[in-house]
Amino acid sequence: MTLLVPAPDAGAQNAVMDSAPPAARPLDAQPHSAGEARDLAAAYLGGRDVAVPGPVADDVLLVVSELVTNALRHAGGVSGMRVAVTRAGVEVTVRDACGERPVVRGRGGDWLPGGYGWPMVSRLAEVAVIPLGTGGKLVRATVPVAGR
């Protein structure tokens, strides 16, 4: 399920995150490739006091890879990435420069590469697209931990 929600008040959100203890702080980065993003996310998840279950971590790394790849290929690059462990699960947020919503590419009769990432992310996570006006958008995917 993909939700379209209004832009958040970034100042209030950052103030809450900045006051968190070091082990609870999110990973904030601006990766230049999907591989770099996966490595950063894996190190963040592996360095936490409370371990994220292996299957959840695997799903998070897939989501990170897909969101960063989509931003690089289709949305003018990655302006920022945040990974945070929350009560709801592991939240992955990627900011890009394009205000257009991600779309599922139609399939013709011939097999063509690409077009599988967005549907996969939508199956693995609760996804919200947050428009930022001329500043692009945030794509936030929360991979649930409960029941896994």
- Give the CA distances from residue 5 to residues 67, 118, 130, in Å, rounded to whole numbers and listed in that order: 18, 18, 5
| Rounded Cα–Cα distance for residues 91 and 143 (Å) | 6
Contact 20/34 with Cβ under 8 angstroms?
no
Start-to-end Cα distance in the chain = 19
| Per-residue pLDDT, 137 | 93
pLDDT tens, N- to C-terminus, the chain (148 residues) = 334 444 444 443 333 334 455 556 899 999 999 999 999 999 999 988 788 999 999 999 999 999 999 999 989 999 999 999 998 899 999 999 988 887 766 655 565 556 678 889 999 999 999 999 878 999 999 999 976 6
| Per-residue pLDDT, 22 | 54
| Per-residue pLDDT, 114 | 62
Q: Would the CA dihedral through 32, 33, 37, 40 be positive or negative? A: negative
The region that residue 114 occupies, defined by phi over 0 for left and psi between -120 and 50 for alpha, beta otherwise, is left
- Give the CA distances from residue 129 to residues 40, 49, 112, in Å, rounded to whole numbers and listed in that order: 23, 30, 26
What pTM, to 2 d.p., does this model score? 0.79
| Per-residue pLDDT, 119 | 87
Q: Max CA-CA distance within the chain?
A: 53
| Per-residue pLDDT, 6 | 43
